[in-house]
Structure 1
């Protein structure tokens, strides 16, 4: 019997999965403390576990209202879990190691490589330093801008606190808010300043730190990597396409943007498209959206953000590679070519594997939830996709979930944050390399 404490057993994927699990359990116990709640209300272990999972996995689905149920202590715990989950617990651990002057070991570099979805370890610590610097700089600037805007609605102290919380929440694509009564940002649907700050945070957090680094250093090097080009191109298509379709679908819907001014229609449609980068905040009443808009939102939530970012989903580049493979097949070409570069077939296989695993998990979870929850199919599918994509958008089902439903949603959030490939590698036994190949067989397709 293998020793479970042996060093070889703790591969980078297993360390990542275990690290997130430990953060969730620690957050659960902190949120169960009486000091974490307002008015002396208690919080059950399951609800605390659900909240900690949602925060650590930067999702934003809630079973109790964050702004009215939790005390300042509880809200700060949630904010810290969001920061750890968004940047990655290994990034935070590396920050402390750098502060105290400790050397980063080879094993830690391997885990960082897995966490940041990098192909090799070269420059991984330098990248982590950039992640920390960029993240805190963006959050500080956004907190300041939020404070200036919120001073018109709240006292200075509260405006500063709200500004800091929502800057962390939005940049990490978490979707938690403090405005109370599950209202999210609906009061600011037509507010240009609030929308611009919020959407900028969501997009910057969802692009990925490698892309941010490329953009910031563009003036110096005058070039972008193929990864950054793919991310920017795909993100632009999804944002613009989502905006146009939401605008068309909801234009005459008086319960969403139909009753708003032209400015309100534009801001509302644009924010609804941007928030599907897995941010989870909303300025429109989601329960009043038309079925076409809800289905579009489900598709965009499943795709999510980009690799190496604070966002979830199967990722923009995954879908781009699959679409590229389909186009190449239709054109009768052997290679998948993007931006004049040939893409290795291993990348295509990985993209297909991630998509199939992810789709299968959402389908199975949806089937289970249809049996355990007394609601319509669209609400169940929407909630399941939102959880897996670590989005946090909800049609109101989450607070009313059964015990089984909460556990299923927690599993989806965990799988969405850790990543399907990482999770499979963490759970699967180590496979020895095959020393032989089977003869080729042919199966008819289509």
Structure 2
């Protein structure tokens, strides 16, 4: 028989990390269900939905947070966003460090998994740097937004709006206190640029940003950092141009805007699917082609060990490089003078395959439980899986079963598709090989 202590020791880092998110969701659900958290009573399912959305930094909501939640409820949501974006283990290690308590190898390994590092060395220093970096960027955004919003909304409301949206943006949550999200700011360059820079930086990944600060030249950067920075720039430019062309004549989105506002709105709507979830145009009024293109962006997502989800940009780049290499007859894909290992390629293929299976499976489930067209349902599932938070407007119309299904998708998207399988399947290393045989493909 196993003792209680031995069973605890057998918990893998992935189990602890997934459990910490689940714990946050449970606590958040109970807090949001309290009478002091909402202006009007909400159901347990709605409380669970918003708590899950906040913890997984998704941004989907079954009600307007600004009018439904009280100040207490909004603060609860904000704490869920901040803790969910960074991870409980990072805060736990930081607290132990502040209390000058010894941080064991187990906690270092938990942080290692949370931040996607290859070794457990230097984790405490990295955690402290991450927290300083996060609060510094959020603080700077609060100051800049306050200078813009305080003259319009007054000291209290202007400052509070700035704090809420800065934290929501950096953590790629997409929650807003305005009833139309950010539609009223479609032509406001200050709001668009500040918030987009926040969620783009948050989506790059803490380790990437740290390396950019420490190593000043492009040549010094690791291959991962080069791929993230260059890939982000290229993808954002392509997304902006594509949406500008697709929505140019749509009177329900940017069709009636000036050229300047069209470019600004196309830019914001092009970068926000990288798991941010804010919107400056009505997502539900976009062309079907734009929705499909946005789904691709949401599926790709942001960077590893960031506040973003999706299959991750580097995963997408690796698969593209491998496909190009195969067509050209190159044995190993390479970029910037560096080859990519076979195990990285296999992992990328596994992540993409598992992710597509999960998405199609839950779309199928929703077609059984909801009387809604397939495209909006598919958009909702991909948005949930990428923890983006964009919606065509069907979230509140989902049945209780449908809402629970979306909660499950958001949770899987935040912890990662492969983590789900690692939690239930025991990994093993084979000490033997079977003989090869011919398999015809393509």
CA-CA distance at 1:17 after TM superposition: 0.8
Q: 1:31-430 alignment to 2 at 5 Å?
A: 31-38=32-39, 41-180=40-179, 183-219=180-216, 223-428=220-425, 430=426
Q: How far is 1:104 from its partner?
A: 1.6
Larger mean CA deviation between 96-105 and 385-394 belongs to 96-105
1:139-198 deviation per Cα after TM superposition (whole angstroms, max 9, x unaligned):
011011111111232111111111000000000000001012xx1000000001111101
SS in 1 for 2:32: helix
RMSD: 1.4
Instruction: Select the residue among 422, 431, 441 that pairs with 1:435.
Output: 431
1:30 counterpart residue number:
31
| Alpha-carbon distance in structure 2 between the residues aligned to 1:88 and 1:140 | 19
Contact 1:14 1:427 (8 Å CA) reproduced: no
Name stretches of at least 5 consecutive residues in structure 2 with no aligned partner.
none
Give the drift of 1:4: 7.4
Deviations 1:292-317 (A, max 9, x none): 11100000000010111101110000
Show the counterpart of 1:445: 441
Matches of 1:319 and 1:435, distance apart in 2: 31
CA shift, 1:94, in A, is: 1.5
For 2:316 and 2:399, the matched residues in 1 are separated by: 33
TM superposition shift of 1:9: 2.5
Supply the distance in 1 between the matched residues of 2:369 and 2:31 (Cα, whole angstroms). 29
Residue 45 of structure 1 deviates from its aligned partner by 1.4
Q: How far apart in 2 are the matches of 1:378 and 1:153?
A: 39
Displacement after TM superposition at 1:109 (Å): 1.0
CA deviation profile, 1:295-354 (whole Å, cap 9, x unmatched): 000000000101111011100000000011101111111111111111110100000000
CA distance in 2, matches of 1:414, 1:111: 18
SS in 2 for 1:211: helix
Rounded to whole Å, the distance in 1 between the matches of 2:188 and 2:398 is 33
Instruction: Work out the CA distance in 2 between the residues paired with 1:325 and 1:8.
Output: 39
CA drift of 1:8 comes to 4.1
Which residue does 1:18 correspond to in 2?
A: 19
- Most deviating of 127-136 and 72-81: 127-136
How far the C-alpha of 1:427 sits from its partner, in A, is 2.4
Separation (CA, whole Å) in 2 of partners of 1:3 and 1:331: 57
CA distance in 2, matches of 1:204, 1:4: 42
| CA distance, structure 1, for counterparts of residue 373 and residue 269 of structure 2 | 22
- Tell me how far 1:269 sits from its aligned partner: 0.1
Aligned equivalents of 1:144, 1:122: Cα separation in 2: 35
